[in-house]
C-alpha cells in the first residue's frame, strides 16, 4: 500500500472530524506496535479498523503462501552455496498445520540424499525451512546468507557447501539433517509465526552437536530478522558470535547467553556506525 509506515496506513496530519488528537501520535511513527490509534466516539477510527483487517489478512497469507523454492535456490547460489531441495514428512500444508510432529522429521526418502552430502569437516550446516511464514524466507533468507558467509570465513569457520531447503519444515528438522550431514552445529533459517505487524519475520536457531531429540532449551534463537526488524548484518554478527562461543563452551541454549551486543557496540567507531545496512 502506497505511503505505509511500519506496515500501517499513514496517519493523517490533522485529526479527522470526530477523532480527537492522540498525544502519542508522534511516537507511533517510531514503532509498528499498534499505539496511538485514536478514538471515534466509543470505537476506533475507520482507518484503524481497515488497517487491522489488512494486517490480519497479511498474517494469514504468510501462513498459507508457498515457499518460492526456485527463488530461494537462486538466492542460495548467489550467496556462494549450493541448494539441496528436501521435504519434511508433512505431505501438504494442511498436514503441516495440523501435525507439527511431521514437520519436525525429514521425509524418509530424503534421508539418503542428506547423508550423501555429509561433510564431517563442517563447523556449521545452514538449513532453510519455510516454517509459518514462507514470505519471510522468500524475502530475507538470501540477503542474510550473503552477509553470513563472509563473516564465517573471516572467523575461520567452515560451512557445509550444500544448504538444504526444506518444505513444510519445523525447527527441529534441522537437527536430523545436520546429524546426517555430520556437521558440528546447525543454523536453521525459518519463517516465524507472523504477527499483525510482522508477517515477514525470519528466525535463526543455532544448535550445537545437532541430533534427533534435541530440545528447544538447547538452541539459541535470533528473532525478527527483516528490513523493519534486526538488520541482516547484525543478525550475521550474532550468529557467528554464538557459533564461536558454542565451540568454546561446547553448548548452546540455556548454557550460552547472547552477549554479542557488547562486542558490536565496542567496535562501533561512532554513532553513525550503528545505522542499519539492511
Annotated binding residues, written as ranges, equal 171, 192, 221
List residues forming the annotated binding site for adenosylcob(III)alamin: 171, 192, 221
- The closest of 200, 193, 196, 201 to 56, measured between CA atoms, is 196
Residue with cell 502519542: 24
C-alpha dihedral, 135 to 138 to 139 to 140, nearest 10°:
100
* Strand ranges, E, within the chain: 82-87, 125-129, 162-167, 185-191, 202-208, 219-225
CA atoms within a 13 Å half-sphere pointing along the CA-CB vector of 23? 0
Q: Quote the CA–CA distance of 41 and 58 in Å, as a whole number.
A: 28
Amino acid at each position: 500500500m502506497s505511503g505505509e509506515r511500519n506496515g500501517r496506513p499513514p496517519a493523517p496530519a490533522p485529526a479527522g472530524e470526530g477523532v480527537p488528537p492522540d498525544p502519542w501520535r508522534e511516537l507511533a511513527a517510531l514503532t509498528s506496535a499498534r499505539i496511538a490509534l485514536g478514538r471515534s466516539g466509543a470505537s476506533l477510527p475507520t482507518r484503524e479498523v481497515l488497517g487491522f483487517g489488512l494486517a490480519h489478512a497479511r498474517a494469514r497469507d504468510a501462513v498459507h503462501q508457498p515457499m518460492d523454492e526456485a527463488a530461494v535456490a537462486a538466492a542460495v547460489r548467489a550467496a556462494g552455496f549450493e541448494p539441496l531441495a528436501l521435504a519434511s514428512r508433512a505431505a501438504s500444508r494442511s498436514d503441516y498445520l495440523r501435525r507439527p510432529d511431521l514437520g519436525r522429521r525429514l521425509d524418509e526418502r530424503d534421508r539418503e540424499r542428506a547423508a550423501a552430502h555429509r561433510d564431517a569437516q563442517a563447523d556449521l550446516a545452514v538449513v532453510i525451512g519455510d516454517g509459518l511464514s514462507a514470505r519471510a524466507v522468500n524475502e530475507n533468507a538470501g540477503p542474510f546468507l550473503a552477509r553470513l558467509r563472509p563473516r564465517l570465513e573471516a572467523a575461520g569457520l567452515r560451512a557445509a557447501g550444500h544448504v538444504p531447503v526444506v518444505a513444510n519444515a519445523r525447527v527441529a528438522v534441522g537437527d536430523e539433517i545436520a546429524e546426517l550431514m555430520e556437521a558440528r552445529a546447525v543454523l536453521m533459517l525459518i519463517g516465524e509465526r507472523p504477527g499483525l505487524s510482522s508477517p515477514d519475520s525470519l528466525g535463526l536457531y543455532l544448535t550445537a552437536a545437532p541430533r534427533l531429540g534435541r530440545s528447544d532449551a538447547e538452541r539459541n534463537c535470533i528473532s525478527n530478522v527483516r528490513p523493519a526488524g534486526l538488520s541482516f548484518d547484525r543478525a550475521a554478527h550474532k550468529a557467528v558470535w554464538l557459533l564461536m562461543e558454542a565451540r568454546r563452551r561446547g553448548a548452546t541454549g540455556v548454557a550460552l547467553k547472547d552477549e554479542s551486543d557488547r562486542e558490536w557496540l565496542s567496535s562501533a567507531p561512532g554513532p553513525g556506525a550503528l545505522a542499519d545496512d539492511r
